[in-house]
């Protein structure tokens, strides 16, 4: 099954989309990668979902990626004697280490790291910012605050700290158990929540040991500040606009989205735009015009993937949401302004032979109007370099490693095919022509460009470029 677009669609699975028939329906509607949210999924359910995705993968004959999204540290206040209290703007309110149920003057905060780290002038946002407190002082055991916005707080509401860097890693004890469980099932990507600094990736990378790639979710101001360092140590990024819009001024999020997307593209790292893209389709069969515009902006920006959350996980119209996102993406990529916008954001290649080959293959393919760029890739690096160029022609990524093909299913423009390794250079070119023909990217008489590393099976050594005709039998023509 060939997609008619280059941007990928990432669909979250949940109560509305957990059976195998619906997963296949979502794939046929346009989903390229499936997300399992470990905030709401236990290990047996996760294992069942992975098994069903792999069953669909086998049935459709296409590599499908799986992203396991770890919950990360969830910071919450304790309970109130009455369940909730109403506050007044300007009044004092204290967060402390006393587990006694709270009242209109104080509440338990069961996170000593917050009590020790918050300084006067720092903001504390409760319940997604519906209540805003300003810290005025603290002694490590409590934080004296003043209410600056909102007037209600209730049991177990979340706490966001836009001004405070906490001295804790991104992995909680739950995350460590979840990480071990998802790695054992062979998922392809791990999303790490609430990354603050590059060091937050170290523990997960040590545990993963290359069995899955790491995606950093950018949802805190501290991560935006150290974006370049985080990109360098990440395999991919996600613009997690939900929490980002809580911890930063909501009007700043569109600009930050563009900054992150462009920085990831320059680095050649995949980037996903996520959260509330077609939010109204949770309960409605069609999106709002503003949501359509929102999705289109991410596609015009050249994001690798766009993501559905509750729309596909718990909404009333999961398949329709995926289909609508697919239609929007296809229409944007056919727009006459699309190539110019994508080209204007292109960055200079790095001074390496592999990057030079990828640049040359794009220029030649576009100049000669070739049918496709066919790239052999064992590790996925060559496919990523080809995608970084954002060529106007399709990219066919051939790999003998099914895990590589699954990982590249997230990457812009990559049509992934699992194929046995070529025996020699002639076999490589023949195989490239045959697959381009069989996958409907070219007809007899059309030309493709083939990139690979010679000698064969040398990871990361892309140094060969060939132009080949597709013959009448689908093999290389003379």
- If asked whether residues 362 and 450 sit together in one domain, one would say yes
Query: pLDDT by residue (tens digit) across 93-113?
Result: 999 999 999 999 999 999 999
Residue 348 located in a structural domain? no
CA-based R_g, the chain, Å: 24
Q: Does residue 255 share a domain with residue 312?
A: yes
The CATH number linked to 370 is 3.40.1380.20
Choosing from 282, 305, 337, the residue where a domain stops is: 337
Question: 94 and 38 in one domain?
Answer: no
- What domain range includes position 124? 84-160
The per-residue pLDDT for 45 is 97
Decide: helix, strand or coil at residue 191: strand
The verdict on pTM exceeding 0.85 is yes
Using a 10 angstrom Cβ sphere, with 0-12 exposed, 13-18 middle and 19 or more buried, the burial of residue 4 is: exposed
Total domain count, the chain: 3
pLDDT band at 175 (very low <50, low <70, confident <90, very high): very high
Q: Kindly tell me if the per-residue pLDDT of 357 is higher than 60.
A: yes
Residue 343 forms part of a structural domain: no
Q: Are 295 and 274 in contact (CB under 8 A)?
A: no
What confidence score (pLDDT) does residue 477 get?
53
How many other C-beta atoms can be found within 10 angstroms of the C-beta atom of residue 244? 25
Q: Does residue 139 sit in the same domain as residue 197?
A: no
Enzyme catalytic residues: 35, 76, 217, 275
pLDDT of residue 459: 65
Q: Considering 131, 160, 189, which residue would you say is the last residue of a domain?
A: 160
Percent of the chain surpassing pLDDT 70: 97
The answer to whether the peptide bond before residue 455 is cis (omega within 30 degrees of 0) is yes
67 and 92 in a single domain? The answer is no
The pLDDT of residue 347: 81
Over residues 342-354, mean pLDDT: 84
- Average pLDDT over every residue of 238-246: 93
Asked if the model's pLDDT at residue 322 lies above 80, the reply is yes
The verdict on residue 312 lying in a domain is: yes
Q: Which of 129, 125, 164 is nearest to 145 (CA)?
A: 125
The beta strands (E) that lie in 18-171 are given as 33-37, 65-69, 84-86, 92-96, 106-108, 123-126, 131-138, 142-149, 152-154, 159-160
Q: Give the model confidence (pLDDT) of 3-34 as tens digits.
A: 999 999 999 999 999 999 999 999 999 999 99
The pLDDT assigned to 346 comes to 84
Tell me, yes or no, whether 3 lies in a domain: no
Q: Are residues 219 and 130 in the same domain?
A: no
Residue 304 and residue 7 in contact, taking contact as beta carbons nearer than 8 Å: yes
> Over the stretch 55-71, which tens digit does the pLDDT of each residue have?
999 999 999 999 999 99
Q: What is the CATH number of the domain that holds 131?
A: 2.40.33.10
Alpha carbons 333 and 306: distance in angstroms, whole number: 14
Whether the predicted pLDDT of 44 surpasses 90: yes
| 342 falls within a domain | no
The torsion angles phi and psi of 186, rounded to 5 degrees, stand at 85, 35
Phi/psi of residue 30, nearest 5 degrees? 140, -5
Same domain flag for 48 and 65: yes
Q: Is the pLDDT of residue 244 over 70?
A: yes
Tokens of 323: 């289909």
Identify whether residues 59 and 35 lie together within a single domain: yes
Mean pLDDT lowest among 176-180, 222-226, 345-349: 345-349
Question: 68 with 34: CB under 8 angstroms?
Answer: no
Question: Collapsing DSSP states into helix, strand and coil, what is residue 167?
Answer: coil
One domain for residues 402 and 468: yes
Whether residue 478 has pLDDT greater than 60:
no
Domain shared by 64 and 95, yes or no: no
The sign of the dihedral angle between the CA atoms of 54, 55, 59, 60 is negative
Token code pair at residue 345: 């954001």
> Domain for residue 77, yes or no?
no
- Contact between 84 and 155 under an 8 Å Cβ cutoff? The reply is yes
pLDDT in tens, 451-462: 987 776 666 667
Taking the alpha carbons at both ends of the chain, their separation in whole angstroms is 29
Helices and strands per DSSP (H, E), number in the chain: 17, 22
Cα–Cα distance measured from residue 118 to residue 139, given in angstroms and rounded to the nearest whole number: 10
**140 DSSP 8-state letter:** S
pLDDT tens-digit map of 247-284: 899 999 999 999 999 999 999 999 999 999 999 999 99
The answer to whether 395 and 386 have CB atoms below 8 angstroms apart is yes
Of 133, 160, 187, which marks where a domain is finished? 160
């Amino acid at each position: 099954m060939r997609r008619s677009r280059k941007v990928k669609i990432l669909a979250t699975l949940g109560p509305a989309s957990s059976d195998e028939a619906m997963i296949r329906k979502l794939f046929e509607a346009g989903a390229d990668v499936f997300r399992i949210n470990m905030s709401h999924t236990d290990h047996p359910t996760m294992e069942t979902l992975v098994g069903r995705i792999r069953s669909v993968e086998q049935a459709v004959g296409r590599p499908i990626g799986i992203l396991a999204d770890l919950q990360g540290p969830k910071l919450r206040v304790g309970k109130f004697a009455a369940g909730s209290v109403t506050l007044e703007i300007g009044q004092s309110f204290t967060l402390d280490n006393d587990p006694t149920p709270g009242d209109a003057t104080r509440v338990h905060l069961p996170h000593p790291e917050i009590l020790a780290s918050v300084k006067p002038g720092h903001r504390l946002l409760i319940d997604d910012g519906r209540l805003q407190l300003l810290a005025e002082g603290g002694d490590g055991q409590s934080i004296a605050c003043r209410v600056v916005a909102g007037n209600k707080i209730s049991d177990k509401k979340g706490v966001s700290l836009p001004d405070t860097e906490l001295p804790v890693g991104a992995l909680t004890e739950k995350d460590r158990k979840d990480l071990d469980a998802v790695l054992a099932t062979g998922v392809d990507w791990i999303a790490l929540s609430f990354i603050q600094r590059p060091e937050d990736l170290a523990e997960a990378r040590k545990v993963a040991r290359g069995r899955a790639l790491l995606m950093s979710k950018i949802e805190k101001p501290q991560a935006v500040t150290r974006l370049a360092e985080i990109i360098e140590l990440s395999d991919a990024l996600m613009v997690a606009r939900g929490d980002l819009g809580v911890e930063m001024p909501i009007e700043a999020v569109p600009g930050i989205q563009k900054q992150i997307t462009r920085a990831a593209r320059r680095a050649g790292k995949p980037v996903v735009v996520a959260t509330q893209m077609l939010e109204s389709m949770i309960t409605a069969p069609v999106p709002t015009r503003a949501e359509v515009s929102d999705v289109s902006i991410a596609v015009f920006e050249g994001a690798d993937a766009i993501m559905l959350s509750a729309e596909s996980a718990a909404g009333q119209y999961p398949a329709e949401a995926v289909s609508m996102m697919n239609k929007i993406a296809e229409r944007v990529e056919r727009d006459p302004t699309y190539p110019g916008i994508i080209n204007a954001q292109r960055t200079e290649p790095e001074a390496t032979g592999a990057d030079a080959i990828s640049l040359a293959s794009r220029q030649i393919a576009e100049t000669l109007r070739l049918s496709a760029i066919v790239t052999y890739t064992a590790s996925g690096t060559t496919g990523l370099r080809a995608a970084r160029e954002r060529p106007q022609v399709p990219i066919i990524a051939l790999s003998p490693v099914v895990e590589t093909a699954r990982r590249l299913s997230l990457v812009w423009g990559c049509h992934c095919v699992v194929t046995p390794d070529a025996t020699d250079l002639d076999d490589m070119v023949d195989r490239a022509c045959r697959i381009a023909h069989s996958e409907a990217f070219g007809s007899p008489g059309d030309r493709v460009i083939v990139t690979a590393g010679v000698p064969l099976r040398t990871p990361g050594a892309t140094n060969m470029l060939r132009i080949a005709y597709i013959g009448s039998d689908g093999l290389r023509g003379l």
